[in-house]
Amino acid sequence: MEAPFERLLDGLEGPPPAALVADAYVSWVVAVGNRRGVPVWPLFPMAASFFFAYYHYDRLPAWLTDAGEHAPDSDNSEQQLVRHISSQASSSIRLSDLEPLIHNKRTVKHILSVISSIRNAQCLLFTTMYELEASVIDSLQSVYSCPVYPIGPCVPYMTLEDHRTMSNGDTSQGDYFTWLDSQPVNSVLYVSLGSFVSVSASQLDEIALGLEASEVRFLWILREQSTRVRELIGDTGKGMILPWCEQLKKSGRLA
């Protein structure tokens, strides 16, 4: 992607960009900006505390990145490191929380590349608020020479056109906006595992049974196994299970 991006920049008319805002995971953008004298502002799309854990990956011992290995139970330097991350991030991060990522050497290599590239960036942006992660923002600012800015949620739903049909024109799932608008304010729980998380059938069962037992109103976006989950929950009338929804517009509903 780097070469096509450079060609795009070469083809721009007028003055060069004032800055390049790029997903922090696309670390090569920093090098492109540096070569062209254009400031680069990496944007990390998750919690700052998660990035703070990334920052310490190079301090984790080599045995942690070996597939199949697990953290020892002893109170050793690795556990002390995680306690340091947790205390600075004001969170309850455990070594076991990091293991699924750090057991993949390719992932660790990319993460370390991301951390290294940001040292050459002109600022670092987070989609969080300072009041939520003050300690970790302060800690990151102390280790990076560039400014660290929490810019808050980047959800432009207020600028979207208000219409009630799906983008592909498919209304076969029913008008879930009408259903949402008919519910009491702040009463509907939105459940979505995103595009990258894969859960087992037993985990889906736990979520489904938890929703049923809680008797809470819910909108659950589930691409696969929706028929099986509907059968498990039954028709309570308090929830909807859909394969897709317009997430940004959904966020604007009072329910």
Q: Range with the lowest mean pLDDT among 82-96, 104-118, 192-206?
A: 82-96
Say what the pLDDT of residue 178 is: 85
**Domain end (from 150, 179, 214):** 150
DSSP state of 73: S
Say what the pLDDT of residue 253 is: 60
- Residues 223 and 172 occupy one common structural domain: yes
* CA terminus-to-terminus distance, the chain: 41
Calpha distance 155→157 (Å, rounded): 6
Confidence of residue 157 (pLDDT cuts 50, 70, 90): low
How far from 54 is each of 58, 166, 227, CA to CA, in Å? 8, 37, 38
**Domain end (from 98, 115, 150):** 150
Total of domains in the chain: 2
Q: Range with the lowest mean pLDDT among 115-124, 184-193, 236-245?
A: 236-245
- Mean predicted lDDT score pLDDT of the chain: 79
- Residues 179 and 219 occupy one common structural domain: yes
- Residues 111 and 166 occupy one common structural domain: no
* pTM listed for this prediction: 0.62
